[in-house]
């Protein structure tokens, strides 16, 4: 079993808030991340696939194809977008990295045919990092 990871990038804006909260409660809960007009980040998205390398190629999965899949399914939908407004699969979701990681897992998991999806990692800033392993 070998683990292979591909990292892709996207730049997006978001606002953390719960529609059912008052403004005060949103501010208390999400702090400056609840700024009404939003803010943004350069996100790093890493996708790890676990599998047995094919003896004929030495590869679990073609990294170019894994990259294309991540771009088609995720990056093209979120890059240079507002995560609260522009993304179909994020409608009604508070766009924390915890939620993003689980939703990206659900989208990518059925599409990985060689090896199996092992982990989704998202960093929002150099100091904040989330991982989801489908557990």
Active site residues: 33, 80, 124
- Which of 11, 68, 111, 116: binder of its own copies (CB under 8 A)? 11
CB closer to its own copies, 18 vs 111: 18
* Alpha helices, H only, 21-75: 23-30, 63-70
Backbone φ, ψ for residue 22 (5° rounding): -70, 165
| Residue 68, token pair as written in the block | 């294309």
Assess 73 for contact with its own copies (CB under 8 A): no
Assess 81 for contact with its own copies (CB under 8 A): yes
C-beta separation of 64 from 34 below 8 A: no
Size of the site for its own copies (CB under 8 A): 64
Phi-psi group of 28: left, alpha or beta (phi > 0 → left; psi -120 to 50 → alpha; rest → beta): alpha
**Interacting residues with its own copies (CB under 8 A):** 1-9, 11-14, 16, 18, 29-33, 35, 37-42, 46, 53, 56-60, 62-64, 67, 79-82, 84-86, 93-99, 101-102, 125-133, 135
């Amino acid at each position: 079993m070998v683990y292979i990871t591909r990292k892709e990038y996207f730049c997006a804006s978001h606002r953390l808030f719960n529609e059912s909260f008052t403004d005060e409660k949103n501010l208390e809960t999400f702090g400056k991340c609840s700024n009404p007009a939003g803010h943004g980040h350069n996100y790093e998205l890493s996708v790890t696939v676990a599998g047995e390398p094919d003896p004929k190629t030495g590869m679990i999965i073609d990294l170019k194809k894994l990259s294309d899949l991540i771009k088609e399914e995720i990056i093209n939908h979120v890059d240079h977008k507002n995560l609260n407004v522009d993304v179909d699969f994020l409608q009604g979701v508070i766009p924390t990295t915890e939620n993003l990681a689980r939703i990206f897992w659900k989208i990518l998991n059925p599409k990985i045919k060689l090896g199996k999806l092992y982990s989704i990692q998202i960093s929002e800033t150099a100091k904040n990092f989330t991982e989801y392993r489908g557990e």
